[in-house]
Amino acid sequence: MKTTARFEIGYEQLLDPDGKPMVKRLPAFANDKKTMLGLYKTMSLTRAFDTRAIALQRTGKLGTYASCLGHEATHVGVGSAMAEDDVMAPSYREYGAQFTRGVKPEQILGYWGGSERGNVYEGPAAGDFAWCVPIASQCLYSAGAALAFKTRGEKRAVVVFLGDGGTSEGAFYEGLNAAGVWDLPMVFVIVNNRWAISVPLARQTRAETLAQKGLAAGVRGVQVDGNDIIAVRKVADEALKRAREGKGPTVIEALTYRLSDHTTADDATRYREAKEVEAAQRKEPFVRTRKYLESLGIWDEKKEKALVAENKKTVDAAVKAYQEAERDSVAAMFDHMYAELPDSLREQREAALREAE
Amino acid sequence: MANRITLVEAVTQALAWELEHDESVVAFGQDIGANGGVFRATDGLQKRFGEKRVFDTPLAEAMITGLCVGMSTQGMKPVGEIQFSGFMYPGVDQLISHASRMRNRTRGRLSCPMVLRAPYGGGIHAPEHHSESMEAIYAHTPGLRVVIPSSPRRAYGLLLAAIRDPDPVVFLEPKRIYRLTKQEVPDDGEALPLDTCFVLREGGDVTLVSWGAMMNETLKAAAKLAEEGAEAEVIDLGTIKPYDSETILESVERTGRLVIVAEEPRTAGVAAEIAAEVAEKALYSLLAPIERVTGYDTVMPLFQLEMSYLPSVERILGAARRTLEAKR
């Protein structure tokens, strides 16, 4: 039998776990101090926010919360590569990516604290989609947004995040197929953190990589070390440039690890070995980023301490804003159902308001 | 100039009008391009407006629905076609989880001015899965608008209104009457009101409420009742959700009798909702128990039995006569 097609999946890693470059020449931005400091600071803020959010949940001040512990380099690397007028479609833990788009930490707390007002983003995120809980369904509306950009001839791209579990969903494949058939300006970011709640990747798929799932739809796929901020940013830059230039979509599989429970309602010790988590901990994204910054001579213990203090201030202010925000009014439940409230709903609204008095 | 067209031609005419007058409108679905749709609802539109505005999609209903959601959040007005309503279910996740709640969950930051069209209903000897009337699924979903036209003129005016509406609309087209009659439909871009009933016949003895293809049976029953000396008021619901209860209540308060006619399965249907609301708000005006003439709580049968499933003029007459004969 002759071979009619051959495929390859590339893997990008530029920093080793000790922060040493693995190639002779890193991408130009890796030598730009301002860029690198910005990336690290956003990662660090994300970690500080995440830690506090879990503490708030544990003390009854926040609803169920999905931690992003260990995903910071992937989220910040991809988010920072986006142009302001690109559109992001998150799943439900991409806080680091959202911070790069101007979403405020108090808005994220607002959402997990039970109010839709947390989804009212401003600035670059004003056109971004809100959280998507039904797994991988974001892939379909993301394709729609990308098709709108393509139809209007706009040089804008859509970045859609999903997890390893999400790649088992039909919506993922249908979204990929749409992206492929129309060469849509889209980047699928599969955050492969090895666990879909309690189901490990080996029980999710027989595929060697998740990036290759794009190939069947004619979409290029690339793997990246998701804990390597420089590698993530590089592949995201390339994918977004291609998308905006009309060269078509990309699947980025970012290999990372979910160091936390799935959410605060989960207990991962029920289904995974501590040894595995310890091994993953040794590859986490912060140490190598910090060591790399130190090697550039732009970071030290003193700066780290100052950043920790600054993050605490930022998060304190966000928590204060969240806790001082007024509760949603009962009317808010009705007022955004339709552009104009139908009579039948007006009647229900009035009844609910009377009930609330 | 007379422009006598069928219901399906009225759909085409409305699509063409909006494509012509609003550049943010696009239409897509399976086989709707060169083929013009399996029922020809998009006949000639691709040729006229080009492949960027009117195009075929891969065979994936969830994707078609999701494209509508995503495009509409970015300022376009997509009109997606699902080839038959029985194939809408893969896309129901996009309708329930996203289209219907986008505006609410973003507090108005994003919204979905989209239309999802599909031929629906029984009575054309179609294969399995092609004949169901499941409008209640969509009517039950908060945030959706469900519209079902019953004549060429209403198909034109309501589809224009649906496309212009700032919220998501499920537009179900009764395929049994796609080509049943012709009506003069001026191509003037005039929309008909949504969320409003249409009174097709006035009468003071009994109120008959229906929608879609069943309007024909219902009007025939009303004509027969007139021969028997009873004047029926016939109301076309038009918009199934949110529906115009005011017109129905006002009518029932005059007639004291209500018969609701629908193809849908009986339990937890739209007819049940109307009956419940009338019982809540106009019980003391009723001179007879409310009657529902609906499909059964059975699987929609293959076509040998489909006419036994669908409400017939005789069944409607039976129900109407019972209400007229009831003694309080």
**Residue ranges in chain B modelled with pLDDT below 50:** none
Are A298 and A354 part of one and the same domain?
no
Let me know if residue A142 belongs to a domain.
Answer: yes
B110-163 per-position pLDDT tens digit = 999 999 999 999 999 999 999 999 999 999 999 999 999 999 999 999 999 999
Contact B147, B194 (CB under 8 A): yes
What's the confidence (pLDDT) of residue B327?
Answer: 77
**B70 touches A: beta carbon within 8 Å:** yes
CA distance A161 to A167: 11
Contact B295, B310 (CB under 8 A): yes
Q: In this structure, what CATH number is given to the domain that contains residue A62?
A: 3.40.50.970
Quick count: other Cβ atoms within 10 Å of Cβ A331?
14
Both tokens of residue A351?
């009844």
Are A254 and A345 part of one and the same domain?
no
Let me know if residue A219 belongs to a domain.
Answer: yes
| ipTM metric | 0.97
| Contact residues on chain B for A170, CB-CB shorter than 8 A | 62, 90
**B59 touches A: beta carbon within 8 Å:** no
**Residue ranges in chain A modelled with pLDDT below 70:** none
3-class DSSP state of A203 = helix
- Please count the residue pairs, one from chain A and one from chain B, whose beta carbons lie less than 8 angstroms apart: 133
Are A231 and A356 part of one and the same domain?
no
Are A29 and A140 part of one and the same domain?
yes
- SS3 of chain B: the string is CCCEECHHHHHHHHHHHHHHHCCCEEEEECCCCCCCCCCCCCCCHHHHHCCCCEEECCCCHHHHHHHHHHHHHCCCEEEEECCCHHHCHHHHHHHHHHHCCHHHHCCCCCCCCCEEEEEECCCCCCCCCCCCCCHHHHHCCCCCEEECCCCHHHHHHHHHHHHHCCCCEEEEEEHHHCCCCCEECCCCCCCCCCCCCEEEECCCCEEEEECCCHHHHHHHHHHHHHHCCCCEEEEECCEEECCCHHHHHHHHHHHCCEEEECCCCCCCCHHHHHHHHHHHHHHHHCCCCCEEECCCCCCCCCCCCHHHHCCCHHHHHHHHHHHHHCCC
Task: Say if the Cβ atoms of B26 and A139 lie within 8 Å.
Answer: no
Task: Say if the Cβ atoms of B74 and A145 lie within 8 Å.
Answer: yes
**Which of A52, A71, A156, A262 is an active site residue?**
A262
CA distance to A105, A269, B190, per residue, from A69 (Å)? 16, 16, 56
Let me know if residue A239 belongs to a domain.
Answer: yes
Both tokens of residue A315?
């998060």
Task: Say if the Cβ atoms of B195 and A127 lie within 8 Å.
Answer: no
Residue A258 bears catalytic tag: yes
Let me know if residue A194 belongs to a domain.
Answer: yes
Both tokens of residue A73?
């380099």
Are A319 and A341 part of one and the same domain?
no
Are A44 and A124 part of one and the same domain?
yes
Are A355 and A240 part of one and the same domain?
no
Let me know if residue A4 belongs to a domain.
Answer: no
Are A339 and A315 part of one and the same domain?
no
Are A127 and A30 part of one and the same domain?
yes
| Contact residues on chain A for B33, CB-CB shorter than 8 A | none
Cα–Cα nearest to A129, from B155, B129, B99, B7: B99
Number of domains in chain A: 2
Residues 207-226 of B with CB under 8 A from A: none
Q: What is the gyration radius of the CA atoms in chain A, in angstroms?
A: 21
What's the confidence (pLDDT) of residue A357?
Answer: 86
CA distance A25 to A14: 9
- The vertex-A114 CA angle with A109 and A117, nearest 5°, equals 70
Are A320 and A340 part of one and the same domain?
no
Mutate to test the interface with A, among B25, B73, B82 (most CBs of A within 10 A): B73
**Which of A258, A288, A290, A292 is an active site residue?**
A258
Domains and CATH numbers, chain B: 4-184 (3.40.50.970), 198-325 (3.40.50.920)
Are A48 and A126 part of one and the same domain?
yes
Are A295 and A336 part of one and the same domain?
no
Let me know if residue A228 belongs to a domain.
Answer: yes
Contact A349, A334 (CB under 8 A): yes
Residue B129 bears catalytic tag: no
Domain limits at A350? 328-357
Task: Say if the Cβ atoms of B145 and A338 lie within 8 Å.
Answer: yes
What's the confidence (pLDDT) of residue B1?
Answer: 53
**Which of A203, A271, A336, A346 is an active site residue?**
A271
Cα–Cα nearest to A276, from A189, A201, A175: A201
